Amino acid sequence: MSVTAAQGFVAAGVTAGLKTSGRPDVALVVNRGRRKSAAAVFTSNRAKAHPVLWSQQVVGDGIAEAVVLNSGGANCFTGPFGFQTTHATAETVAEALGVSAGDVVVCSTGLIGVGDQVFRDKVLSGSIAAASALTVDGGLDAATAIMTTDTKPKQAVVAGDGWVVGGMAKGAGMLAPGLATMLVVLTTDADVDHGGLDDALHSATRVTFDRLDSDGCMSTNDTVLLLASGESGVVPDAEEFRAAVTELCADLAEQLQADAEGASHDIRIEIVGAASDDDAVEVGRSIARNNLFKAAVFGNDPNWGRVLAAIGTTSAEFDPYDVDVSMNGVRVCHAGAPDRPSDAVDLTARAVHVLVDLRSGGHEATILTNDLTHDYVHENSAYSS
Amino acid sequence: MSVTAAQGFVAAGVTAGLKTSGRPDVALVVNRGRRKSAAAVFTSNRAKAHPVLWSQQVVGDGIAEAVVLNSGGANCFTGPFGFQTTHATAETVAEALGVSAGDVVVCSTGLIGVGDQVFRDKVLSGSIAAASALTVDGGLDAATAIMTTDTKPKQAVVAGDGWVVGGMAKGAGMLAPGLATMLVVLTTDADVDHGGLDDALHSATRVTFDRLDSDGCMSTNDTVLLLASGESGVVPDAEEFRAAVTELCADLAEQLQADAEGASHDIRIEIVGAASDDDAVEVGRSIARNNLFKAAVFGNDPNWGRVLAAIGTTSAEFDPYDVDVSMNGVRVCHAGAPDRPSDAVDLTARAVHVLVDLRSGGHEATILTNDLTHDYVHENSAYSS
């Protein structure tokens, strides 16, 4: 049910011919509820795609009526023509729905530099087709239409007390199309204004999507959108709402990690004993981005030396000679020296847990990543994406 | 001739049994000249190996008589025993040569966490053997003994006006043993004091080794050492000396890049039009560390979108929509929009040139890197190193 689990939302997914595979490639989600609150988080990459630049303006007033999404082209670095395409897409959807173009969010995903007249024609015709296919059961179709190299649609729902929040996501962290990778649309029928949505969304993404770091490559198109219809008539407790949105985002983030096609391991890097949350995140990220470590995990090699070499590059507060490292429950390094033998670590399962104790405080963070594999190199070298 | 090209230096390379391959693994370079000036640059990784911690003290007074180097084990994160091994190595060399242990630099390279009693015994016996094998023709033997997965020894010489500066290097940027990767010993018979050496070495490494970024993974053992014997009796012009050391380091850095075993392309990333040198380096490095871009080059795919997505993550001064990108002479992106067709770019040759014009100033920098290949993943996953 995903984006249509919440009352007040309809959705559709159609085939516009953007994908050479002939699979669905244009999705539309519309809020028909009594309120049209919206909040969003966008990529922090300075190289932002045209749809991101447009959508930042749309949600600036905390209101959005609809979001149209296409796969098969990122419409990024496509010049003034590309921005006009995004604008025309919003206008087309607005006209079909009888709303203002200024309330239509636009998301695109695919290859950077793609956005010519043919692309525009297909996106516009697809948008019109989607607008006439909207149903309360259209969640799965929408989730399917935003897939790129994802092997399965990603959806989740969390129930509150008289309201629900649901959503869909696309993205394949380690895959090339992953460059313009993560699009997420969340919907709720809880009665929440823009401020409440914004608070919950930022709080949730900070500890979920922001801590998913498959390959260290930041996208130009990342968008996470949260829409509220108010149709349940229930004003949720702010803390409960925040917790539900966080749970939903964590679920979708793990689905993204698990479907990173090139990956053979899902790695949870847990940093404890940090002097601050920022320190814990910085240390976790340094490991998640270390190619030598990631290649070792692919080879089922518990190479803890690479973990220490990675964290030594950070400015976090700790003594490199007073750090513990455990892999899948085996403490292989204690106080900066070998502890239990590496042979005792079994890395053959897909799930890998790396625990680093910085012994410098009470803060912690978990970063999700994947290993560096032959399939990752293949996916990102054999196809332009 | 490398480290023995300069008058006053002798060297040796012997087999101590540290490498399972049975190849030479302990090298010694000794300054027998009228002066014993020394300067060094060490890894900026906070996780420093014991030999680095020791050697920083040795060169602190600007004097060194000898440097002993071993492959087959990094002696990093090996606990107090590891530091004692480094100390014992210096003592052993000092005794054999009749010098002070406080003037013996120690370098190690290999797997982190390796440094037990067997390792120590072999390093010590190898050091004694090397001390009795010193010759004025020992440069190649020494350069051979410090190799890990390098496929060839790396040596270079630059002649000045009545003096020479020569050197050897080991390191395989993209390879796993590359973790404890770069060891460089440079020698000169020019009559230069510690201050002159220090100035020339920092000036040179800043634009050579510091701009070689094969896989973004910083080593725990990196050491670049410059020794002067004064035996030529010539005091060189400071600028000429700096230029010669820079030329030498650039030569060795390119040899390191070319021998990165997993690599199939040597990539020169040239950033021009930057507002500052730091901006140019930051932008170049962001591209050099982008796995998606590096995998695309492996696939001979001129994917300029990944270049823009990479530089968008930096804080350098530029407008993402006013940037030019050329690949092997073809400008594929102009002012943030597609320019000449990517099909016109031929990336089949090993040498790849990426030119980014930030159009924000007159500063520039060149970063050397390699592509991300199946062999890189294989090397770094199939063997613990």
CA nearest A343 in B: which residue?
Answer: B384
Please indicate, yes or no, whether residues B249 and B339 belong to a single structural domain of this protein. no
Q: Indicate the DSSP class of residue B215.
A: S
Please indicate, yes or no, whether residues B131 and B252 belong to a single structural domain of this protein. yes
Tell me which residue in B79, B219, B314 faces A337 most closely, judged by beta carbons: B79
What is the extent of the structural domain holding A307? 266-382
Q: Which of A5-14, B215-224, B334-343, B375-384 has the lowest mean pLDDT?
A: B375-384
Please indicate, yes or no, whether residues B209 and B281 belong to a single structural domain of this protein. no
Tell me the per-residue pLDDT of A240-280, one tens digit each, with 9 for 90 and over: 999 999 999 999 999 998 888 789 999 999 999 999 999 99
Tell me the per-residue pLDDT of A129-171, one tens digit each, with 9 for 90 and over: 999 999 999 999 999 999 988 889 999 999 999 999 999 999 8
| CATH number of the domain where residue A309 is located | 3.10.20.340
d(CA B51, CA B74): 8
CA nearest B174 in A: which residue?
Answer: A292
| CATH number of the domain where residue B143 is located | 3.60.70.12
Give the pLDDT score at B384. Answer: 60
Q: Which of A62-66, A81-85, B171-175 has the lowest mean pLDDT?
A: B171-175
Answer with the one of B232, B258, B284 that is the final residue of a domain: B258
Which residues 115-174 in chain B show a CB within 8 A of chain A?
Answer: none
Chain B environment of A380 (Cβ under 8 Å): 291-292, 295-296, 299, 372
Give the pLDDT score at B285. Answer: 92
Give every strand in the sheet of A154-159, ordered side by side: A37-42, A223-228, A183-188, A164-170, A154-159
Model-level ipTM above the cut of 0.90: no
Answer with the one of B207, B240, B258 that is the final residue of a domain: B258
The number of folded domains in chain A is 2
| Residue contact B309–A45, C-beta within 8 A | yes
Mean pLDDT of chain A: 93
Give the pLDDT score at A173. Answer: 57
Give the pLDDT score at A135. Answer: 98
B79 to chain A, any CB pair closer than 8 A? The answer is: yes
Tell me the per-residue pLDDT of B105-160, one tens digit each, with 9 for 90 and over: 999 998 888 889 999 999 999 999 999 999 999 999 999 999 988 889 999 999 99
Give the pLDDT score at B178. Answer: 35
Please determine, for residue B177, whether its predicted confidence score (pLDDT) is greater than 60: no
Please indicate, yes or no, whether residues A310 and A170 belong to a single structural domain of this protein. no
Percentage of chain B surpassing pLDDT 90?
78
User: H or E stretch including A287?
Assistant: helix A277-288
B47 to chain A, any CB pair closer than 8 A? The answer is: yes
Please indicate, yes or no, whether residues A249 and A274 belong to a single structural domain of this protein. no
First-to-final CA distance of chain A: 30
- In a mutational test of the B interface, the residue from A292, A325, A378, A384 whose CB has the highest number of chain B CBs within 10 Å is A292
Chain B environment of A47 (Cβ under 8 Å): 308-309, 311-312, 320
Please indicate, yes or no, whether residues B74 and B168 belong to a single structural domain of this protein. yes
Averaged pLDDT, B220-240 = 96
Give the pLDDT score at A353. Answer: 98
The number of angstroms, rounded, from the C-alpha of A290 to the middle of its chain's C-alpha atoms is: 21
Answer with the one of B258, B281, B316 that is the final residue of a domain: B258
Please indicate, yes or no, whether residues B125 and B96 belong to a single structural domain of this protein. yes
Please determine, for residue B363, whether its predicted confidence score (pLDDT) is greater than 90: yes
Mean pLDDT of chain B: 93
Pairing of strands A164-170, A154-159: antiparallel
In chain B, which ranges are E strands?
Answer: 9-14, 26-31, 37-42, 66-70, 104-108, 154-159, 164-170, 183-188, 223-228, 266-274, 324-327, 330-334, 337-338, 351-357, 363-370
Q: How many other CB atoms are there within 10 angstroms of residue A21's CB atom?
A: 10
Please indicate, yes or no, whether residues A30 and A57 belong to a single structural domain of this protein. yes
Please indicate, yes or no, whether residues B335 and B248 belong to a single structural domain of this protein. no
Which residues 241-300 in chain B show a CB within 8 A of chain A?
Answer: 289-292, 295-296, 298-299
Please determine, for residue B304, whether its predicted confidence score (pLDDT) is greater than 50: yes
Please indicate, yes or no, whether residues B365 and B281 belong to a single structural domain of this protein. yes
